[in-house]
Each structure stands twice: as structure tokens, then as C-alpha cells.
Amino acid sequence: MIELIPAIDILHGKCVRLSQGDYDTSRIYSENPLDIAKRIEDHGLHRLHLVDLDGAASSHIVNYRVLEDIASHTSLCIDFGGGIKSDKDLSIAFECGAQMATIGSLAVKEPERFLNWLAQYGSKKIILGADVKKGKIAISGWKEESREDILPFLEEYASKGIEKVICTDIEQDGMLQGPSTQLYQSILQKLPKLGLIASGGISSLQDIERLDEMGITAVIFGKALYEGRITLKELERFL
């Protein structure tokens, strides 16, 4: 059964969602992210993907107090991403209650440091963030496009011990038009043992069911939940 991972994206301390990674499209869904996290927990879900959008566009993590607040008032297993660009940032994330850290930009810009973290903390705690735009890895809060092609990038890190990757198709993210099944299928064909976490475009329960049938390990979703396309009550049958 596919693992369900609701997402809370934080901008200026508030729960927001973007469309296609564009910060100018941000829409506020809650002034208090902890309230959202408690509702998620109350319906029996155990995981949370918490993204520091301010940090992703900055040189360090910013919203670690939100992480600390949610971690100390819920029992959710939190993976935290956005702005982790130094040893200090990573330490802060874990000290504030993250059980896992999602690293994207630094895995492209500083692969040696990323691999050191992987060796130090292990593949259960370090998740590779692979944000994709037109087949290329995007970095720095999706504002930069690298020269890295998605499949060779994932193959390289899989060969070095990465077990879990969050793959987001930026052009689908926040659009409520369905996930990039073709992209995920190509990844699974190349790397069938990789723990692939699909993210971006989820619009309905049917999208989640389709990913489950494909053999996707887990799915991250946000906007569909906040827009009422998916309800927490409906998700209980997946648990």
C-alpha cells in the first residue's frame, strides 16, 4: 500500500501553496501550520512533508521554529526540506524535530558534502530531493535549472547509497492536473529498487490509486487537500 504524505509548505510562517514553483502565485491556506498538522494527525496519518519555502530561496533554513512547534506538539514523522545548505542547517533541522531531511540543491552543487551527510546520518534519514523541469534538475527554490538530466542524476546517487527520493515535476506541481506518471514509470524501469516518492499534480484519490498500482512507494500531496479535492476522511481507507 502506498504511503500517504501530506505536505505543508511554509512561507512567512504561514501554510501556503504555489503553482509550478512560482512564489508570486502563493496562496495562504492557514495562518497556523500547527493546526493543519494536528488535523492530519487526528485522522490517523503518520507522515508529514514540511517545506521551508523561505529557506529554499535563501542561503539557510528560516522556518525552523515552525518545525519545532509541529514536532513538539504532534507525533508526526516529519521530513523537512528547504534551505538546508550547511552542516549547521542540517543539525538545526534534526535538533528541531525532523526525523528525515530532504536535500535537493546541495546534492547538485556540493555532491561531496551531500555524500558526507549520507554517510554520517544514513539513507533512512537523508532523502534526495529531485525537482524536475523539462527533464532537468531544478535548484534554489526552483529558480535555477541545472544541467543535470533526471535519470543519470538518480542513477548516480542510487549507486552511492540513496534509498529514497522525492521527485517533483515542477510543471505539474500545484496545477491539480494529475501526476507525471510517464516520468515516474521511466524512473521505476531504470531503478526498480529505489524508494520513489511522487510529488506534484495530485488532484484526486484516483491519482493516488493509479500511483499505488504503478508501485510507487509514497505520494506527497497538498493543494488537493486544501482545495477539498481530497478529504482527510477519505484517506483513512488507505491506512
- Please name each of the domains of the chain with its CATH number: 3-238 (3.20.20.70)
Dig out the grid coordinates for 1 from the structure: 500500500
Would you call 88 exposed, middle or buried from its count of C-beta atoms within 10 A (0-12, 13-18, 19+)? exposed
* Active-site residue set: 9, 131
Continuous segment of H or E residues that includes residue 147: strand 144-149
Q: How far apart are the first and last CA of the chain?
A: 8
pLDDT at site 24: 86
Please name which of 57, 61, 200, 199 lies closest in space to residue 140, comparing C-alpha atoms: 57
pLDDT at site 62: 97
pLDDT at site 58: 87
Dig out the grid coordinates for 136 from the structure: 532537468
Q: What is the pTM of this model?
A: 0.93
pLDDT at site 223: 92
Could you state, in chain order, the average pLDDT of each consecutive group of 10 residues for the chain (239 residues)? 96 91 88 97 97 91 97 98 95 98 93 98 97 82 69 97 94 81 95 96 95 96 94 89
pLDDT at site 138: 81
pLDDT at site 142: 55
Continuous segment of H or E residues that includes residue 26: strand 22-30
Q: What percent of the chain has pLDDT over 70?
A: 96
Continuous segment of H or E residues that includes residue 205: helix 205-214
pLDDT at site 146: 64
